[in-house]
Structure 1
Amino acid sequence: SAKHALRHVENGVDIVVAQGHEAGGHTGEIGSMVLWPEIVDALDGKAPVLAAGGIGTGKQVAAALALGASGVWMGSAFLTSQEYDLGHRLPGGTSTIQEALLKATTADTVRRKIYTGKPARLLKTKWTDAWDAPDAPEPLPMPLQNILVSEAHQRMNESDNPDTVSMPVGQIVGRMNEIRPVADIIAELVSGFEAATKRLAGIAES
């Protein structure tokens, strides 16, 4: 939130990452489109702001810069890169986790405390469904929850069943539909950014 960003700057941080609700892992309640400019305006140039949460295309990078960010911070979009080693690999060469990510849609994430004890966006699987069952226990506070479930996470992620993995990922997972080199991901981000900014320039001239 803006108050957190201000507190960080007061304590000497060099860069603030403004992470919207769409992001994977630990995330708050405010969506990126609202959060990014709110933090940019609150800091008023005191520190550069990197936009995070739901970014996976060049047009989204352009939107972040248009809202005042100095750059972007991306995580989930690189989980299906060829270079990313997510452990146990299936006969086809992809990891169990990547197989789960590839078949997920934008709606296939949930925000729960079951990973660490604090709210985190996770891939929706049989594991998250089990914790949502009426007879499931309440998650323990951080860091106890992670201690409780970490070995179970390792076993599931090393299995051959993508339906039971435990993996933090953002809502951008719906666009992560193929395994490809990081170079291709970056090239598409650049070309998408150029196309978006060119389109906006055309609108401004008309």
Structure 2
Amino acid sequence: MRSAICERFGVEFPLFAFSHCRDVVAAVTNAGGFGVLGAVAYTPEQLDTELTWIDEQVNGRPYGVDVLVPGKIEAAAVAKDAHISDFIPERHRDFVAHLFTKYQVRGDSGGLSGSADEFGRRVTAAGATGLIDAALKHPIGLIASALGPPPPEMVSLARDRGVPVAALVGTVEHARRQVAAGADLIVAQGTEAGGHTGEISTMVLVPQVVDAVAPVPVLAAGGIASGRQMAAAMALGAEGVWCGSVWLTTEEAETAPAVKRKMLAASSLDTTRSRSRTGKPARQLKSAWTAEWDEGGESPGPLGMPLQMLVAEGAMARINAAAERGVPGAVELANYFVGQVVGQLNQVRPAREVVYDMISEFSEALDRLSRITG
């Protein structure tokens, strides 16, 4: 495709694929797109191992890394000598224990793993710096900052190595702030998207951001899982698209099997923006977990980030394991981040096939429009 973004990043298609799964990242990159690995699940050492594997698979083709750098976090998370898990109130631990009992999931009262403190520190500025350092030891073609503006250290280190910096935004104001902080590429993410989102739809957000930050290039995200949606995004002024949910039901995806089955059966009405997984509003599958935290009369209310992440991720590890054993209550609780396009995800396919089908449908959409205007 003849596109400025393709030339800049050395890809065949202006299709950026966010995934926590290295297999998805490599598959999309090898198919002509640009895979982006979400780094929050890894320690710096683990990230180095994952990126080494990707390097070996993609043979010099470009890919990127995404780090989670929230603008606001619980004060406990920045106390160097504190054990972050100690700041989780007893009532929240008790509530998880109550859910385990109610839904017949075996586990301890808090649901926390032994590495809870280390996990929590990954979403602080200091923790992100370790991941950034690890990522920049590899021939990555992009580093992205989710949630907050890219820290000066990220921008400086990336610029020294000639690596562009991307930033995700949900409002025009955030987009301007990200550009001022040094972002080279803006991802305008509508509320339809999975994970952390704002409240403005993609159709409304993208053209506003494009106009506000020109000539900085913009990728559209949120509600994009087909070639027709890709064509619509680029008609709004985006130079490419950033997709996440569409990879969650691929053969390569890291999605827990029970959750993948729920996604394949879900409609676009079966998602919700909830603070129950991370402490910040994040779109995910509706489940008993979201209902109990957001609507249940016994809920103590979600904690802030990263404390709620520690509560939720520790509990979900046990919930997913129980769901695979066929425990009905665990299946009710199980969920994951996914956007409203989940209603389009009704079969398991290889990631490469998803890429090719999107590009084929994109071309068909352009042909259809050209016949209208020709």
TM above 0.5, yes or no, is yes
SS of 1:158's partner is: helix
Residue 136 of structure 1: CA displacement? 1.7
Say whether residues 1:175 and 2:365 are aligned partners: no
Of 76, 100, 106 in structure 1, the residue corresponding to residue 268 of structure 2 is 106
Q: Which runs of 4+ in 1 moved over 6 A?
A: none
Q: Is this contact kept in 1: 2:193–2:340, CA < 8 A?
A: yes
Tell me which amino acid in the other structure corresponds to 2:252. Answer: E
Distance (whole Å) between structure 1 residues aligned to residue 331 and residue 249 of structure 2? 14
Tell me which amino acid in the other structure corresponds to 2:259. Answer: I
Distance (whole Å) between structure 2 residues aligned to residue 85 and residue 112 of structure 1? 22
Q: Report the number of matched residues.
A: 197
Q: Is this contact kept in 1: 2:276–2:289, CA < 8 A?
A: no
- Give CA-to-partner distance per residue, 1:61-101, whole Å, 9 cap, x none: 000000000100000000000011334xxxxxxx1221111
Larger deviation, residues 174-183 vs 128-137: 128-137
Distance (whole Å) between structure 2 residues aligned to residue 115 and residue 37 of structure 1? 30
Distance (whole Å) between structure 1 residues aligned to residue 206 and residue 318 of structure 2? 37
- Aligned pairs for 1:1-206 (under 5 A) are 1-45=171-215, 47-87=216-256, 95-131=257-293, 132-159=295-322, 160=324, 161-205=330-374
Residue 163 of structure 1: CA displacement? 2.9
Q: Is this contact kept in 1: 2:249–2:345, CA < 8 A?
A: yes
Q: Is this contact kept in 1: 2:249–2:255, CA < 8 A?
A: no
- Give CA-to-partner distance per residue, 1:144-195, whole Å, 9 cap, x none: 1112222111111223254321301000000110101112111210111011
Other-structure match for 1:92: none
SS of 1:137's partner is: coil
Q: Is this contact kept in 2: 1:100–1:163, CA < 8 A?
A: no
Percent identity at matched positions? 46
Tell me which amino acid in the other structure corresponds to 1:138. Answer: G
Q: Give the CA RMSD over aligned residues.
A: 1.2
Tell me which amino acid in the other structure corresponds to 2:286. Answer: K
Larger deviation, residues 191-200 vs 140-149: 140-149
Distance (whole Å) between structure 1 residues aligned to residue 183 and residue 306 of structure 2? 25
Distance (whole Å) between structure 2 residues aligned to residue 158 and residue 17 of structure 1? 34
Q: Which has the higher contact order (CA 8 A, sep 6+)?
A: 1
